[in-house]
Amino acid sequence: MITQAKVHAAVRLEAATKKVLANMILSGETGMTPRRAVAQQSAPPVRAIANKPREVPAFHLPPPEAPKRKVKVYDLKAGGADVGIKYSPHAKGLVVRGFIKKSEAANSGLMVGDLIYQVGESFLAGLPALECYMLMSATMGSLVVLTGTRDVKGVQKRVEIDVMCDVPAPPKKAALGFDFKLDAAGVRVQKVYEGTSAFEHLQKGDLITEIDEEFIAGLPLSETKELMSGPARCNVHLGFTRVDSEKGIKRRCSADLIFDHNPRPAPLAEYSSMGDVGIEYATTALGLKVTGFQKLSSAASSGLQIGDIITQVGDELIIGLSGALVRALAC
């Protein structure tokens, strides 16, 4: 049955078809059916999204956390420092005999028995033990490059290690950490000082008969005192006898000690000034203590303060030096 609605639809389709065919004729397009043309004409436009960049959501990550750095605070009240190595002299340099407790050298890779023949750019062969020790001394926290050899299964291997100066340095020349009196067979220990290597091995009443395998019986007091002092940290071998109080028998003992005791610290003995740099100071066992500044001098505004301890002038450690020598270095 033909209804009125179908008639209106047919009229609209015919009108649209005529319009599309007219457009095709004008544009020169052919081969398209009227129904397809009408569908294309009435279809919604297609959005061109092929070339549109895809939007990626941005994630704001926090910056990586910087690693926490361990800060080591050094106690500068002792002035200069050394690498904390116990040693004995050798024709080619120094032989490592041990380490000071809690020093960086103990965990640096050095081993007992290593032969150190070079410190920085200085070779140690032929140098006195004291000069070798001074080459291993610097300001607190400084790095010293040690070069040496190590016996590995009969083969000499070269080692090179950076060691930090973190142990307060004793005076250049130190003593063994005990008091003694002469005995017919050697020297008898009277008192042992705490904090020295002697405190770990000796006790009151021990009879020392040998120093570095040399018998000391019959030596005068002056020569004996000379043997009881030497370059700081230098190793010395002692042979002694000890009486076992419980069993009442004598025991033959030996121990390796180092010169690490300063029996007579220097007092505040000298007051003077460095005219060239404008510093007034007092000489102490630890260096030069700043006591004032000269007017209109650069030192007054340099950051130095009264009470500071000066331990080094240029590249020279001044611990134990007289005021005259320090003034000569400052010129």
Give the pLDDT confidence of 225-234 residue by residue, as tens digits: 888 888 888 8
| Cα 87 to Cα 216: distance, rounded to the nearest angstrom | 22
Q: How many residues does the chain have?
A: 331
**Average pLDDT, integer, range 243-262:** 84
| Cα 224 to Cα 216: distance, rounded to the nearest angstrom | 7
Give pLDDT, residue 230: 85
Give pLDDT, residue 285: 66
**Average pLDDT, integer, range 253-265:** 79
Question: ∠126-128-129 over CA atoms, to 5°?
Answer: 120
| Secondary structure class of 12 (helix, strand, coil) | helix
Judged against a pLDDT cut of 90, whether residue 207 lies above it is answered with yes
Parallel, antiparallel, or unpaired for β 178-183 and 173-175?
unpaired
Question: ∠238-242-243 over CA atoms, to 5°?
Answer: 170
Q: Among residues 203, 143, 207, 196, which one has the least CA distance to residue 170?
A: 196
| Cα 172 to Cα 227: distance, rounded to the nearest angstrom | 15
| Cα 174 to Cα 17: distance, rounded to the nearest angstrom | 119
pLDDT band, very low/low/confident/very high, at 217 (cuts 50, 70, 90): confident
- Which two tokens mark 249? 């028998």
Judged against a pLDDT cut of 80, whether residue 294 lies above it is answered with no
At a CB cut-off of 8 Å and minimum separation 6, what does 210 contact?
A: 186, 216, 237, 238, 239, 240, 254
- 22-31, 42-51, 139-148, 284-293: which has the minimum mean pLDDT? 42-51
| Cα 224 to Cα 186: distance, rounded to the nearest angstrom | 9
**Average pLDDT, integer, range 267-275:** 44
pTM of the predicted model, to two decimals?
A: 0.47
